[in-house]
Structure 1
Amino acid sequence: MANGKGAAGFQDHFSGHATEYREHRPRYPDALFQIIAAHAPGHAAVWDCGCGNGQASVGLARHFGTVYATDASARQIEAAEQHPRVVYSVAPAEHSGLPDASVDAVLVAQALHWFDVERFYDEVERVARRGALFLAVAYRLARISAEIDPIIERFHDVTLGAWWPADRAHIDTGYQGIPRRFPEVELPPVVMEAEWTLDQLLAYLGTWSSVQRMRTSLGIDPLPALREELLPVWGEPDTVRLVRWPLVMMAGRVG
């Protein structure tokens, strides 16, 4: 499915490269799922909304009896990692199809900025049990080193600036522009990390919606030029470097 509005009316920026998304996106640390479990009133069920290919769903399954994982993209669900306690379904965030008062926590990982937020909050109030934890997380630009970070920032802001979907800007502001509905819950900070070579980093950057849109619209792949710019400061391409993403976390208590 092409970028933009999909057949179901949702903003679909990732179906066209669902397999690459699964293979090259970083994994959330188990510390995130431990925190969710520690602050949820129970562990019977959790809803992973906008689950994509299940990167957070499988992690949640280590702490909850059932993970309801929904995404509006059928192609993302088809590419999802299977787990006996994860129940995948194709559904928009605002109409999940889940039973009333059925989950102890709701997680939205790297997806809240694509939703009709107020209608989604209505659905959260319907699906969540009283006192359930609501948590939206997102990650901004990777942090690697003082020499590398400015190059990636320039690539993000200048090279790709015109190709980012407008709603993606909410991540850059740390979700400050998204309305809150649920009483705030303070959670400890979490950092997502990966140890990558240069080409692993570039494969991840290739999953960005802006890169996909630029390739589709102009027939230009901006990654080879970025690789040449990064090589002098990265060193040998197979050098492994620590990549870090501090998570933006917006947590609340439902009901």
Structure 2
Amino acid sequence: MSSTPSGLKNWFDQGGQAYARFRPEYPAELAAYLASVAPDATLAVDVGCGNGQLTGQLAEHFTAVVGLDPSADQVAHATPRTNVDYQCAPAEQMPLADHSASLITAAQAAHWFDLPAFYAEVRRIARPSAVLALISYGVMRLDEGLDARFQQFYGQEIGPYWPAERRLVDSGYATLDFPFAPLAPPAMAIRLDWNLEEFLGYIATWSAVRRAREAGREDILHRFASDIADIWGDPASKQAISWPINMRIGRV
């Protein structure tokens, strides 16, 4: 095995602590688009909001935003804003008044929901012509030399450690039942320039990495870190990385 830059392996021990730091941010155009198709700017509800990555962006466009997540820890780490109300609640039991929401979003979360129960709640809280958007981002893409090694790692090496629900994310939710009048969103992507530390820090946040470590297969992680470091070159150099944004979006 070739050597790795000092400290690389430690990133796989710090993934949980680094979640908020390394998770990619959605582009501002996503929230702007969602606001443009909502019937008004009264209230947006972000379900499964995590630490509020999309929630805070919606706050730029709506009078009020509610962020809901079943994890109290995630909600506790969300950045506060004057027009955002974060609450600990499941998608299937939203603490909102009937016919109150103009936009309901679920970003990188819908694959965990009991969809029939969630959809019933969506219909209950939706204002006339409200919009529901199930948002996900697909598998990252890198420059050609790096991408081939990464795709091997993602699909063959760490792939068996992803939960079954991950396939729904990779497909852009294409196979999910979506009983709403569909809208056709514009093509969007998350684009970042990352150094090697940021890249491996992001991978360390994956649930599949945690499961591989629990299974005693840290060798998979360290071999990948070593290989990708060799291809990357100067660990401080920035590489272009992108994720396609996928949406199932429609009027309730």
TM-score (norm 2): 0.90
Give the equivalent residue in structure 1 for 2:138.
140
Percentage of matched positions with identical amino acids: 36
* Partner residue of 1:201 out of 186, 193, 199: 199
Which amino acid in structure 2 is aligned with residue 171 of structure 1?
Answer: V
Q: Tell me which residue corresponds to 2:95.
A: 97
- In structure 2, runs of 5+ residues without a counterpart are 1-13
Q: What displacement does 1:217 show?
A: 3.3
Q: SS state of the match for residue 56, structure 1?
A: helix
Structure 1 residues 93-242: aligned runs within 5 Å: 93-218=91-216, 220=218, 222-242=220-240
Equivalents in 2 of 1:223, 1:59: separation in Å?
33
Q: In 2, Cα distance between the equivalents of 1:46 and 1:165?
A: 30
Task: Work out which of the two has the higher radius of gyration on C-alpha atoms and give 1 or 2.
Answer: 2
Distance 1:17 1:232 in 2: 22
Q: State whether structure 2 residue 229 is matched by structure 1 residue 251.
A: no
Distance in 2 (CA, whole Å) between partners of 1:215 and 1:79 is: 25
User: Normalization by structure 1: what TM-score?
Assistant: 0.89
Distance 1:60 1:143, change over 3 A: same
Cα RMSD (Å): 1.6
Which whole-Å CA distance do the structure 1 matches of 2:64 and 2:109 have between them?
21
Tell me if the contact between 1:133 and 1:252 (Cα under 8 Å) persists in the aligned partners: yes
Question: Match of 2:123, as an amino acid?
Answer: E
Give how far 1:224 is off.
2.9
Residue 222 and residue 87 in structure 1: after superposition, are their counterparts in 2 closer, same or farther (change >3 A)? Answer: farther
| 1:86 aligned residue | 84
Other-structure match for 1:68: 66
Rounded Cα–Cα distance in structure 1 between residues aligned with 2:63 and 2:220? 43
Distance 1:62 1:236, change over 3 A: same
**Higher RCO, 1 vs 2 (CA within 8 Å, ≥6 residues apart):** 2
- The correspondence of residues 9-24 of structure 1 with structure 2, limited to 5 A, is 19-24=17-22
Tell me if the contact between 1:18 and 1:76 (Cα under 8 Å) persists in the aligned partners: no
Shift in CA distance, 177/58, structure 1 to aligned 2, threshold 3 Å? same
Report the count of equivalent residues.
239
CA offset at residue 19 of structure 1? 4.3
